[in-house]
Amino acid sequence: MSAEAQLECKDVAVRFGGVAALGGVSLTIDSGLMTAIMGPNGAGKTTLLNCISGIETHYTGSVEVGGEPLDRLQPRLRTRRGLVRTFQMTKVFGSLTLDENLFLAASAVDIPLTHEEASEIIHLVQLDRMRHRQALELSGGQRRLLEIGICLAQKPRFLLMDEPFAGLNPMMVKTVCEVMTHFAKRGGGVVVVSHEIPIVRRHADHVVVMAQGKVLASGKPEAVLTDPRVIESYIGGSVARH
């Protein structure tokens, strides 16, 4: 994997008052692969995504893409460097149509989006029927799919997804998995924060388990999800056996 195709976090640490939300996290995310970040609630997974995307600015350490440090860049400039993300609480522009949402996202990073490309994305996230509707008319699950579509319209290098499967029906989960696989196959890097162990086991190339703001284990899914420390602090014995 070339240096240009890597997203690196070097000793990233965040404190909220007296609490260490992240205690020096270092990890490397390769493009073309799907990396899952797991861990109990409060482990610092979303905080790590916030540091990578620039929403959290008060961190120490460094976030780099292809060797370029991004720490001084605002979120919008990190988006321009190819880092886009979805949120735990879905964020779309409600008063805009689906087409307009995609156009806006692409235009904001100066990427021309043709009608055909927009159609392809809309089709990929299975929202063809709703295309000319305002986003506020979509259901919660459909909004989550649209948010992923918005990210794809920005043609990112790395797609950061925070709990993308929450509240989705099985068909939608399948769609999200297909989108992530499709994106990774095209050379993009996927970072997904999730508690869905079966999905991660099936689709992720690399798993990072965090606990109390630190990386507890990292590696191939089979190895990490059977690690006794991971089972003890996150999965629990009975689940692990399944």
Partner 1 sequence: MLKAPGWITHRRFVDLRTDYLIGVAVIAAAALVLFLGVGGAYGLSVVTAFLFYAIVTLGWCLLAGYGGMFSLAPSTTVMIAAYVSAVASNAGWPMLLAVVLGVASGALMGLIVALATSRLKGHYFALATLVTAEIVRLVVTNEYDLTGGEAGLRTGPLIPGGWDIAMPAILGVSLIVILSGLLFALRGTPGVVIQAIRDDEEIALVRGINVPLVKTLIVVIGSSIMALGGALYVHYIQLATPQMGSLFQTTFVLAIGIIGGIRSISGPIVGAAVVIALQELLRDYPFIHMGLTALAILGVCQFAPAGLAGVVLRRMQAIREKIIFKEHSL
Residues that bind partner 1 (CB under 8 A): 53, 55, 74-76, 79-80, 84-85, 87, 91, 93-97, 99-100, 103-115, 118, 132, 150, 154
Report the residue number, 36 or 113, with the smaller CB distance to partner 1: 113
Q: Which two tokens stand for residue 54?
A: 């620039």
Q: Which is nearer to partner 1, 93 or 173 (CB)?
A: 93
CB of 65 to partner 1, least distance (A): 15
DSSP assignment letter at 137: G
Q: Around 242, how many Cα atoms within 13 Å sit in the side-chain half-sphere?
A: 7
Q: DSSP 3-state assignment of 162?
A: strand
Q: Report the residue number, 47 or 233, with the smaller CB distance to partner 1.
A: 47
For partner 1, the closer of residues 20 and 108 by Cβ is 108
The C-alpha torsion from 209 through 213 and 216 to 220, rounded to 10°, is 30
Over its C-alpha atoms, the chain yields an Rg (Å, rounded) of 18
Taking the complex as a whole, the smallest distance from the CB of residue 28 to partner 1 amounts, in Å, to 24
Provide, rounded to whole angstroms, the least separation between the CB of residue 92 and partner 1: 8
Between CA 143 and CA 6, with CA 42 as vertex, the angle to 5 degrees is: 70
CB count, 10 Å around CB of 87? 19
Most distant pair of Cα atoms in the chain: their distance: 51
Q: Minimum distance from CB of 187 to partner 1 (Å)?
A: 21
Q: Which is nearer to partner 1, 45 or 206 (CB)?
A: 45
Least distance to partner 1, CB of residue 144, Å? 14
